[in-house]
Amino acid sequence: MDQEFLRALLDDVSSGRIAPDDAVEQLKRLPFRQVDDTLVDHHRHLRQGAPEAVYGPGKSPEQCVSIVGELLAHGRGAVLVTRTNEDQRKALEAAHGVAECANGSLLWRAPSPIDHGNVLVVSAGTADVPVVDECLLALKAHG
């Protein structure tokens, strides 16, 4: 959910393309949605200007699938899941299609790159490669 979505929704109601009751149903998802035992934040992009990121450790493959499903179905921006294990990755890609993957982090719906300037990611050695890959994918999720 972002400002563009809210403006489009209000324009649709104003022009009669959708009924006010339909808009209310969409707005009910603001700002949070309970999915199983997880509270999914649909309002983060609107509040913070950055998409929600899902931290994989401690979540079952089924929880990851549910959370990502909610974000993909009712969100508009990038969906990033970090530090997944093999079981989580297999379940996520089986349920939601192949994502861009880098060392255990997965990204769906990467935005088009925006010229914010340059970012330098520096590491101290090969043990840092997974963290560097996660950082690069997170940067990509932010455009």
Q: What is the domain partition of the chain in residue ranges?
A: 1-30, 32-141
Length of the chain: 143
- Whether the CB-CB separation of 71 and 29 falls below 8 Å is answered with no
Q: Which two tokens stand for residue 44?
A: 């983060």
Residues β-bridged to residue 32: 41
pLDDT at 1: 55
pLDDT of residue 29: 64
Other CB atoms within 10 A of residue 98 CB: 10
pLDDT average per 10 residues of sequence, the chain (143 residues): 80 95 80 79 78 92 95 85 97 95 93 85 92 94 86
Contact 57, 47 (CB under 8 A): no
106 closest CA partner among 67, 141, 72, 58: 141
CA distance linking residue 36 with residue 69, whole number of Å: 12
Contact 73, 104 (CB under 8 A): no
